Amino acid sequence: MKLIATLRRVADRADELGMSTSEYAVGTLGACTIGGVLVKIGQSDWFGGLVRDVLGRIPDLLPF
């Protein structure tokens, strides 16, 4: 009897798993916002200088 009750509870909650359309929209908006911020940071002079500095130091660190 307990098994049947447990299976019914699981079946009742099965339709609540995952995201609804509105949750997908909010998640997509959040991901696009973070992506936009990362693109802006990547295009900044500060970030470009940092990347050039790091890549310029790599040959000094190599053992050969």
DSSP class per residue in the chain? -HHHHHHHHHHHHHTTSS--HHHHHHHHHHHHHHHHHHHHHHHSHHHHHHHHHHHHHHHHHS--
Which residues constitute the domain of residue 53? Answer: 31-64
- Asked, for residue 53, whether it belongs to a domain, the answer is yes
- So what's the pLDDT on residue 3? 79
CA distance 5 to 20: 27
- Asked, for residue 15, whether it belongs to a domain, the answer is no
Query: Which token pair is 12?
Result: 């009742």
- Asked, for residue 57, whether it belongs to a domain, the answer is yes
pLDDT 10s digits, 9-49: 766 665 666 667 888 899 999 999 999 999 999 999 999 99
- Asked, for residue 35, whether it belongs to a domain, the answer is yes
- Asked, for residue 58, whether it belongs to a domain, the answer is yes
- Asked, for residue 22, whether it belongs to a domain, the answer is no
pTM: 0.53
CA distance 45 to 42: 8
Number of domains in the chain: 1
59 pLDDT higher than 70? yes
**Rounded mean pLDDT, 51-63:** 91
